[in-house]
Amino acid sequence: MSLTRRGALGAGLAALAAPALAQNAGFPNRPLELVVGFAPGGGTDVTARTFARFLEPRLGQPVVVQNRPGASGELAWAYVARARPDGHVIGITNMPSFVTIPIERSAAQYRLEDFAYIGNLVTDPSGLVVVAESPIRDMQDLIARARRDPEGVTVSTSGVGTDDHLMLVLIEQAMGVRLTPVHFNGAAPQKNALLGRQVQAAAINVGEVMPASEGLRMLAQAGAQRSRLAPDVPTLTEQGVAAVMQSERGIITAAGTPPGAVAKLREATAAVAQDPGIPPRHRGAIHRTGL
């Protein structure tokens, strides 16, 4: 290729890049919206509000948390997918339901290709909780009750297809029992249902129970190993139930967001996750290329 042609090609590429650079300039230039797919007061909501507080000084703009609960997070993630792709609307995801919804729902309102992936913040094991005075003493007791009365043990979850729900399915498959899930739109209402004796147990993440566990007793948690937040709580595997399940919460924005904005969000998210001021249960590894 001649020098003249190289020069023309370089000028053409520079011209194509100019609009993208202009879009990236000054990002962010207005407040950001952080969308949560579950009700206020649960682990996802608390993670989002903690993250927002530490993100604001790094981006120089307010970060406003918006709760859009419903359909196990689908409504919120669809909202992010349809947002203007400029990085000013971001969302917090929940694995595994974020991935399973487009697979198990034929009319799902988003696809995984609809997002730019910023980073993972939290890994939080699923858990099984009862009220402190419950007659259900441990997992063996819960399984025995379920065998005596199939579908008679009611357990609240934060929604169909969430890690809470899938943990119950794994327990059923591993132990040959039937449980009755009662689905809510977040951890706070399902915890209220447990405290109000509307259900016998609740499937709630460890980080949503500890250390504020007054009036509750955790039977087990579904991590691969014991959690530093609840070192005295045995895993399901330790109690003879071959089931491992956890929730991972990360940050996304709409696909098509300019690369410079995505890079700035990734850099800020990584800095927040490593901030020593973040409570330990909200600090986690950042996956620089995606969730």
- Return the CATH number at 198: 3.40.190.10
253 or 282, which is more confident: 253
> What is the model's pLDDT at position 26?
86
Q: Which of 47, 96, 34, 7 is nearest to 207 (CA)?
A: 47
> What is the model's pLDDT at position 78?
98
Between 115-129, 191-205, 237-251, 273-287, the lowest mean confidence (pLDDT) is in 273-287
160 or 253, which is more confident: 253
Find tokens 């689905």 and name the residue: 183
Domain encompassing residue 170: 127-244
Asked if residue 17 is part of any domain, the answer here is: no
Average pLDDT taken over every residue of the chain: 87
> What is the model's pLDDT at position 263?
97
- Residue 181 bridge partners (DSSP): 155
The Cα 192–Cα 220 span in angstroms is 19
Is residue 20 predicted with pLDDT exceeding 50?
no
Contact between residue 225 and residue 144 where contact means Cβ atoms under 8 Å apart: no
The Cα 108–Cα 78 span in angstroms is 9
Asked if residue 1 is part of any domain, the answer here is: no
> What is the model's pLDDT at position 285?
33
Question: Stretch 222-235: mean pLDDT, rounded?
Answer: 92
Question: Stretch 172-189: mean pLDDT, rounded?
Answer: 93
Q: Are 175 and 133 in a shared domain? A: yes
Q: How many domains does the chain have?
A: 2
Q: How confident is the model at residue 260 (pLDDT cuts 50, 70, 90)?
A: very high
pLDDT in tens, 187-219: 889 989 999 999 999 999 998 887 667 889 999
- State the chain's maximal CA–CA distance in angstroms: 84
Indicate the SS3 state at residue 152.
Answer: coil
Q: Are 95 and 150 in a shared domain? A: no
Which CATH number is 90's domain given? 3.40.190.150
The Cα 163–Cα 206 span in angstroms is 12
Q: Are 144 and 227 in a shared domain? A: yes
228 or 28, which is more confident: 28
Indicate the SS3 state at residue 276.
Answer: coil
Q: Are 119 and 131 in a shared domain? A: no
> What is the model's pLDDT at position 288?
32
Is residue 168 predicted with pLDDT exceeding 60?
yes
Q: How confident is the model at residue 280 (pLDDT cuts 50, 70, 90)?
A: low
Q: Are 136 and 156 in a shared domain? A: yes
Question: Stretch 177-190: mean pLDDT, rounded?
Answer: 92
Q: Are 97 and 159 in a shared domain? A: no
Q: Are 184 and 50 in a shared domain? A: no
Q: Where are the beta strands (DSSP E) in the chain?
A: 32-36, 63-67, 89-92, 115-125, 127-131, 154-157, 180-183, 201-203, 216-221, 246-254
Q: Are 86 and 104 in a shared domain? A: yes
Q: List own/partner pairs for 12-18 with CB under 8 A and 24 or more apart.
A: none
Question: Stretch 168-186: mean pLDDT, rounded?
Answer: 95
Q: Are 144 and 239 in a shared domain? A: yes
Asked if residue 12 is part of any domain, the answer here is: no
Is residue 226 predicted with pLDDT exceeding 50?
yes
Is residue 157 predicted with pLDDT exceeding 60?
yes
Is residue 3 predicted with pLDDT exceeding 80?
no
Asked if residue 160 is part of any domain, the answer here is: yes
